[in-house]
Copies of this chain bind each other. A is one copy, B any other.
Amino acid sequence: MTRKTHPLHSNTGASTPDRIVVYGHDLINDLLGSTSLSQMAFLALTGRRPNADESAVFDAITLTLVEHGMTPMAIASRLTILGAPESLQGAVAAGLLGMGDRFGGGAEAAADLLRSTLAGVDGKDIDTLAAHVVTEHMMAKRPVPGLGHHIHKPIDPRTPKLFDIAKSHGLAGRHVALMQALGREAEARTGRSLPVNATGAIGALCCELGLPKEAPRGITIMARSIGLVGHLIEESRAPIAREIWERAETEVNDAWFAGEKP
């Protein structure tokens, strides 16, 4: 079969024997020694280096996402290394695979909502916009993304801290204001505790930094891979996966023979 060939391009990395270019920057002379890991992550996401203010806010966002305790992802990762101790990468991959729509989609949904709400309405009053969004979601019986938390109430302590950091670096603009207004409005209308949660705050800050739409999910994956490595090192020193497995297996087995079939 003949087919037209299209050329392959990429700006991610290129090298000669004595030179390495990453995202268009000379790794040896421009990046190493003057760039932090999170600045490199920002560069990977956007193609440009962050200034000091952006860098501080980006550090705060990513830091928040590294470690959330004994999540389903962390448990899956630990159970995986129990069976495949030869493959640290496999155990991290197994953990990342649970970072999908349910746990990894919140910040993305919040960012999408903020961006679409503020697109082309530069002069409009934030509270009016928030009221409109909350009404729409209530009528459709859909929760407003980025609001509410099952543990952290009446406020999610990460949110005011993240917004303070953004403000002190001049990066708490209209997206942050709208996210806060959505929280106030939703609480007033429903009478329930609906604080802006960490994913809402992170979604707003991704917008303030002008990050691409994949960024909330991408940042979550980057940060969580760090946390998962931490879990796996702890698991090798103080294992708990076998105990979690054997408890579940024993209970299921006993229940089955007791005739309690589901």
Cα distance A71–B8 when bound, in Å?
14
**Known contacts A38-B37, A93-B97, A250-B1; A76/B80 CB under 8 A:** yes
Identify which of residues 54-69 in chain A touch chain B, using a CB-to-CB cut-off of 8 Å. Answer: 56, 59-60, 62-64, 66-69
Stretch of A98-106, A119-127, A135-143, A179-187 lying at the B interface? A98-106
Q: Which of A40-48, A109-117, A170-178, A202-210 contacts B (4 or more CB under 8 A)?
A: A40-48
A223 at the interface (CB under 8 A from B): yes
Q: Which partner residue on chain B sits nearest A29 by CB separation?
A: B161
| Contacting residue for A38 out of B17, B38, B72, B91, CB 8 A | B38
Q: Report how far A234 CA is from B101 CA in the complex, Å.
A: 20
Q: Is the CB of B88 within 8 A of A86?
A: no
Beyond A36-B38, A67-B13, whether A100 also contacts B92 by CB under 8 A is no
* A88 x B37 contact (CB < 8 A): no
Asked if A5 is at the interface (CB within 8 A of a chain B CB), the reply is: yes
Q: Is A262 an interface residue (CB 8 A)?
A: yes
A84 to B88, CA, bound (A): 11
Minimum CB distance partner of A228 in chain B: B221
Check A1/B89 contact, CB under 8 A, given A75-B245, A157-B28. no
A190 at the interface (CB under 8 A from B): no
Q: Which residues of B contact A240 (CB under 8 A)?
A: 8-10, 248, 252
Can you list 26 pairs linking A and B with CB atoms under 8 Å apart? A6-B243, A9-B252, A11-B261, A28-B157, A33-B56, A33-B60, A37-B41, A37-B226, A38-B38, A40-B62, A40-B226, A70-B249, A73-B80, A75-B244, A75-B245, A79-B79, A84-B97, A85-B101, A87-B100, A88-B221, A89-B90, A90-B97, A90-B100, A96-B225, A219-B229, A222-B226
By a beta-carbon cutoff of 8 Å, the part of chain A in contact with chain B is: 1, 3, 5-24, 27-28, 31-33, 35-38, 40-41, 44-45, 56, 59-60, 62-64, 66-76, 79-80, 82-94, 96-104, 151-153, 155, 157-158, 161-162, 164-165, 212, 214, 217-219, 221-223, 225-227, 229-234, 236, 238, 240-241, 243-257, 260-262
